[in-house]
A and B are shown apart, each in its own frame.
Chain A
Amino acid sequence: GAGVSQTPSNKVTEKGKYVELRCDPISGHTALYWYRQSLGQGPEFLIYFQGTGAADDSGLPNDRFFAVRPEGSVSTLKIQRTERGDSAVYLCASRASPNTGELFFGEGSRLTVL
């Protein structure tokens, strides 16, 4: 596609529910990142994939958060037993290759946990 696509754009769920957020990166981009952005804050790193493997998952806050990228393209961020503190905009970004720096961000998925 022309840009990074994220779905859903908005998700409202109840505390304790399971949520999946999807990211479709720019075609051919090898690296994919997930960030979380709370109001008035900078993007907080969660996880970064190079190809199919998680190259760095040091930002995942706890074991309720998990992300996959099984075929090296689309990625899904999975949140179990959601808590109100998980409410934020979840941003996905892709990068063309290991030797380029620019991140191309999606519009984000706004998650609200009631």
Chain B
Amino acid sequence: GENVEQHPSTLSVQEGDSAVIKCTYSDSASNYFPWYKQELGKRPQLIIDIRSNVGEKKDQRIAVTLNKTAKHFSLHITETQPEDSAVYFCAASRSYQKVTFGTGTKLQVIP
């Protein structure tokens, strides 16, 4: 089955700096890669996703890049703000079926 690895497990950045979270996946048939944000005590919520026919996608301060050959994808957050502090999960799926999550990255933005 699919295995998703995520790094780093924790990340501290100064407000205004950029943050990058990286994930690798094992199943070359995976074609959908979402990112979820989970604030403390809250439910995970989708923040951005990318499909395998696209190399990069951007939405305001967040962007995701995908390298199918290397089977890795990354989340980039620019101009970080304190409200970006949360746990971020990457995930991989084949045709929107079983969704396998990474272990999470706890991002702390220091004001």
Interface size of B as a range: 20 to 34
Interchain Cβ contacts within 8 Å, total number: 55
Category for how many chain A residues contact B? 20 to 34
- Contact A45 B44, beta carbon cutoff 8 Å: no
- Verify A41–B98 contact, CB threshold 8 A: no
Closest residue on chain B to residue A102 by CB atoms: B46
| A42, B89: Cβ atoms closer than 8 Å | yes
What residue in chain A is nearest B101 (Cβ atoms)?
A42
Contact mask for chain B residues 68-102; partner A; CB cutoff 8 A; 1 contact, 0 none: 00000000000000000000010001001111111
What is the interface of chain A, defined by CB distance below 8 A to chain B? 31, 33, 35, 40-45, 48, 55-56, 58-59, 91, 95, 98-103, 105-108
Which residues of B are at the interface with A, using a C-beta cutoff of 8 A? Answer: 1, 6, 32, 34, 36, 42-46, 49, 89, 93, 96-104
